Structure formats: C-alpha cells, structure tokens
Amino acid sequence: MRIGNGALALLLLLALASSASAQPPTTAISSNGPLTNVWIGNELSCQISYAGDTAYELFPSNAAPGDCGTFLAAGGALFAPNFATHTSTATSSIGAYTPFTPVSQTGVTGSGSISSPYTVRTVADAGTTGLQISQTDSYVVGQESYRTDVTVVNKGGGSQSMTLYRAGDCFLQGTDIGDGFLGPAPGAVGCSANPNNTPPGRIEQWLPITGGNSWLESSFSSVWGAIGTHTPFANMCACTTTLDNGAGLAWPLTIPAGGKVTVSHYTTFSPLGNSAPPPTAPATPTAFGPNGIIQGLPSNRRCLSKRHFTIHIRRYPGISYVEAIVFLNRHQVSTVKSRGGRFSAAINLRGLPAGTFPVKITVITTSGSIISGTRTYHTCRKRLSFHGNGRL
C-alpha cells in the first residue's frame, strides 16, 4: 500500500492530488477488448482497462490517464507526462521534470483488424530542446497487447544524446502488490502475480520490439527514481520479491541534427500469464478440415450417392473475402455473396454419368492471399438388376 511508505509520502501524494487542476485531454481506443480501453493523454500518459476487471491496470486504478507513459531525459532535463494535472499520482520520487508540450493528437483511426488496427497518433515537444516525439499507439481487437511506436525527431542544430523510457506503475487486480518476471524475448520485463510468472498468472508486461534496451522491475518508487537519474535502467528484476511494483524499458539514443529514431514495444495485460508477442499478420486458414473456411462438402471417401449439395465460405477471425471462384469438372459454377460478405455455391451432380468429378474452390482475401483446395468425387454406378433363377 502507498501508506506503508510513510507519512511523508502520504502528505506528498495528498498535496499532488489537491494541486491537480484538470485531467489532460485524452483519446481512448475503445473496443470489445479484451483491452476494452487504451487511454492516451495528449502529454504521452496512458491507462488501460481489461474486460471484466473492476479496476484499471495501472495506478491509480480508478482514473485515466494514470502513472504510465513516455519519458525523455535530454540536455540535463527530464521530460514527462504532466502528472501534476492528473486526478491522483504517486510519481513524486521521479524528482524535477518538465511536462511535455502537447502539439497534436488524432482521433481513433482504423478498423481494429491486424491489417488496419485502431490507431492514435500523439505529437509533443520536449521543451526548447528541439526534440519532438511523434507517438503511435495501436490496438488489434482480440489481442492482450497494444503496440507503441515512439519516434524522436531532432529539429535542433546539433547531435543530441538522450534516454527514452516507457514505464508504468502496475496494479494487479485486487491488489497493488506483486512479483516480477523476465522474457520471453530479450529485454522484456513485467509485473506478475507469482514470482517469475511461475505458475503463469496475471501479468503486466513491457515487451520490446526494438532491441538495445535496458529494463527494470522493482518498487514503483524505485522505477520513478531510476528515471529521475536520467540514465538507462540497471537491467534488474526483483522477480521473487513481493512489493508495490512497477516496471519499464529504456533506450539510449543519439540522434544527429535533422535525424530521427523510432523505438517500439508491446504493453501486455493477461490474466492467464500469456507473455508471448501477439501475431503481426492474420493467420491463413486451411481450405478444408474442421477449422477450414470451406464448409458443406460431403466426404469423398466413398462414392457419392447424394448428387447435390451447397458449399459455404465461413467467416474467419481477421479475414474478409473479395471473391470465391468454384469449378465443377473444370466448368465454373455461379457463387452467391450475402450481405455479410459470405459466399456460397450450389454443386449439382445430378444427371451426370458415373465417373470422377473434381470440385475446385479458390478464395481471394482482401489482403491478397489465396486459399484454394480441390476435392474429387466419384459418383456411384447404378446397381444392375438380376432377373435370373439364382445359382446353378
């Protein structure tokens, strides 16, 4: 609990809360989840809610944005979200800092799919350093991670060295304390309900896409204090110590005049301890089988006595279709497209002689992928009538 840090810390926290004037303008990526809301402040703060959880995923657990975001140490100064204007904060150990100067923030764009994720772009200046941050936060519905791409642009007259941080104060549902874990990718770190996430349980994780970072999982005040030193993290995880914790990543950067550098990572929230990175491209389904997209085809293991049936191209998560092309015995069959974008085709073998007939289906997706399969059917021969007197 925050009170356990002493009366002085409590007084500082109350003072910060009482001095807060107004929440910064914030854009929320809202969806069916499981990350139902990803809030991004126009001064690069953040907060997240998870489907079914009664509290938010970062401290404070009842306000957005929270103690989470982007930080930049450059030119002897630290630039950070404007925590003093938040409803509540516990970032006093970060020391002196200058709030980012908001420049612009877009609304939510995209459809929430892998090929077109929900996206918010936020631009902010780091004081008068000539450094500008252009940050893109994106989310694919159905995933337990959202992605952050931070581009630092040097508009100044000379090369500049700096440390870029992404960090947050963890709040594991029902308790403000937890343990830590590393991995699975190099440099990934997070807070967990169980030491080293063993057995897997609730986690909050920062997983780098861009390498060369350092990391830290420790008490929340130690994480803020480490950022206050303006130096990279110590590559430390208090993984087996239960405490009121936080975690984050740091990248050392040197950017020439007129140059820019982008670093990226995922922020993951999983009640089941899933720490793997999310897929970056839609899974390509098979044509046939229990999970195939082509349904309604009868088995071809025996000769076909039922000579007419309808095939359907079923819905598949993250995939939509442009066209379905069906051939029966190398002759194209008409297809029907429903209002929901589903295709169907009637296959009629009635009137055809006994023999072998291939049915080929080709489906083209909106991403340009082609899913194709052929199933060959053997029509049954008519049984011959016997009018003899039986065996001789």
- Which tens digit of pLDDT belongs to each residue from 260-287? 999 999 999 999 999 999 988 777 788 8
Measure Cα distances from 388 to 42, 286, 384, 385 in Å: 93, 52, 12, 9
Same domain? For 238 and 334 the reply is no
Question: What single letter denotes the amino acid at residue 5?
Answer: N
Which residues of the chain are modeled with pLDDT < 50? 1, 3-21, 384-386, 388, 390-392
Query: Is the bond preceding residue 65 a cis peptide, omega within 30 degrees?
Result: yes
CATH number of the domain at 23, please: 2.70.98.40
Same domain? For 82 and 159 the reply is yes
Tell me whether residue 387 is in a domain. Answer: no
Same domain? For 84 and 226 the reply is yes
Tell me whether residue 219 is in a domain. Answer: yes
Q: For residue 314, what pLDDT is reported?
A: 87
Classified as helix, coil or strand, 61 is coil
Q: Could you give phi then psi for residue 10, rounded to 5 degrees?
A: -65, -45
Which residues make beta-bridge pairs with 269? Answer: 204
Contact assessment for residue 251 and residue 164, using Cβ atoms and an 8 Å cutoff: yes
Same domain? For 342 and 248 the reply is no
Tell me whether residue 279 is in a domain. Answer: no
Question: Cα(358)–Cα(349) distance, rounded to whole angstroms?
Answer: 11
Same domain? For 96 and 38 the reply is yes
Q: For residue 134, what pLDDT is reported?
A: 98
Question: Cα(266)–Cα(370) distance, rounded to whole angstroms?
Answer: 30
Contact assessment for residue 371 and residue 355, using Cβ atoms and an 8 Å cutoff: no
CATH number of the domain at 318, please: 2.60.40.1220
The total domain count for the chain is: 2
Q: For residue 352, what pLDDT is reported?
A: 79
Task: Go through the chain and tell me how many residues it has.
Answer: 392
Tell me whether residue 158 is in a domain. Answer: yes
Q: Whole-prediction pTM value?
A: 0.74
End position of a domain, from candidates 220, 238, 270: 270
Classified as helix, coil or strand, 75 is coil
Tell me the H-state helices in the chain: 7-19, 220-228
End position of a domain, from candidates 236, 270, 304: 270
Same domain? For 220 and 88 the reply is yes
> With left for phi above 0 and alpha for psi between -120 and 50, is residue 162 left, alpha or beta?
beta
DSSP state of 109: B
Q: For residue 16, what pLDDT is reported?
A: 41
Q: For residue 8, what pLDDT is reported?
A: 39
Domain that holds residue 354: 294-378
Same domain? For 127 and 34 the reply is yes
Q: For residue 246, what pLDDT is reported?
A: 98
Same domain? For 176 and 312 the reply is no
Each residue of 96-139: pLDDT tens digit? 999 999 999 999 999 998 889 999 999 999 999 999 999 999 99
